[in-house]
Amino acid sequence: MASSVGFDPTSVNLTDPNLDQAKVICALQLGGNEYNGNLGARISSIFVIFIVSTSVTLFPVLASRKPSWRIPAGLYIAARYIGTGVIITTAFIHLLDPAYQAIGGISCVGMTGPWADYSWCPALILLGAVITFLTELGAKCYIEAKHGVQTEKDIQMMVTNQPNARPYNCSDGLEAPSNGTNSDSCDKKAANTMETPSTRVLQSIAFRQQIGAFLILEFGIIFHSVIIGLNLGVVGSEFSTLYPVLVFHQSFEGLGIGARMASIPFPTKAGWLPWVLCLAYGLTTPLSIAIGLGLRTTYVPNSFTANVVSGVLDSLSTGILIYTGLVDLLARDFLFECDRTKDAKQLALMVFYTLSGAAVMALLGKWA
């Protein structure tokens, strides 16, 4: 880091050919600790964000496992595709821009030391996308080598063709019938049939294909949640605006995670995993807020070290969410899905939900 020792930012000759621009940028970006009280409200944010975000994340998972709730199929579809839009916008609006602000070429970090020698921000974004791709490819190759299954469509057909078996996505996710019928019909059909051992094996295969990519998706969002939680604990006058915005922010992200989790056919022996994953997301931001409060008088959000940490995490998370959002969610659900609805109105509604989720998160990007 270019040291600011001996550098007076209040007395700078911009025409000096020997002026160290990095020192100017670092001096302008570096702010002091902005904590200004409101301790009670900050403590309340720990519990409010935990309760609201965890509840929203759990709802799609609970609804998919509770036929007695009689949740309309349309609500499943809305949750799933709003979540798709939220995840994509989180990548581009809430992660990409902050990553460049923290370690990009015109930031204090990006203009000093080895950080100035290479475009690390896009390189880390690429790394996040490649890690996600390799994880999915490895899972697919493992499944093919072990079970000889080629595609998820093969799994769907094999499950459906089993005697007394039901399609695994009928009651385990947000895959509502394409004809727009109520999800109760799926639940009643499932209740009147029995899963054979071979069906359970095939469901396990489907679970293994999907869980790796989902875990990377959740961890990418969790990285981002850590940073915004720390900032909420120490931010100054912006706290009154940032507090309610982050409640909505974390709720919409939680909806995206929960909706995608509900579509994964978790086997019985891993029935505990969805609850742990929901809790992990719900706890991340509140714990980070608590840590920020513990450091409220010493933590400097715009320090060199803080920018490096947040920039690296945001860059990796950007790559993860861009790949997941565009490949696993948009392309898979709308372009390459063999069972995509042929109902033009239903398809238009799915697109509308996706764009609505994206629009809401883009609007929230004005404040957080």
Question: What is the rounded distance in angstroms from the CA atom of residue 364 to the CA atom of residue 366?
Answer: 5
Give burial (CB, 10 Å; 0-12/13-18/19+) of 257: buried
Q: So what's the pLDDT on residue 286? A: 94
Q: How far is CA 108 from CA 7, 26, 101, 227, 228, in A?
A: 15, 5, 9, 18, 20
In a domain, 32, yes or no: no
Q: So what's the pLDDT on residue 267? A: 82
In a domain, 320, yes or no: yes
One digit per residue, the tens of pLDDT, for the chain of length 368 reads 444 445 565 666 656 666 566 666 666 666 666 677 788 889 999 999 999 999 999 988 887 777 777 777 778 788 889 989 999 999 999 999 999 999 998 888 888 888 989 999 999 999 999 999 998 888 888 877 877 665 555 555 555 555 444 444 443 433 444 434 444 444 444 444 445 555 667 777 778 778 888 888 888 888 888 888 888 888 877 888 889 999 999 998 898 898 888 888 888 888 889 999 999 999 999 999 999 888 877 777 778 888 899 999 999 999 999 999 999 888 888 888 666 677 888 889 999 999 999 999 999 988 87
In a domain, 165, yes or no: no
Q: 320 is in which domain, residue-wise?
A: 56-147+198-367
Q: Specify the number of domains making up the chain.
A: 1
Q: So what's the pLDDT on residue 99? A: 94
In a domain, 16, yes or no: no
In a domain, 15, yes or no: no
Q: So what's the pLDDT on residue 5? A: 47
- Are 285 and 228 in contact by the 8 Å Cβ rule? The answer is yes
Q: So what's the pLDDT on residue 51? A: 95
The single residue listed with the structure tokens 């000759």 is 13
Q: CB within 8 A of 201, min separation 6: which ones?
A: none
In a domain, 31, yes or no: no
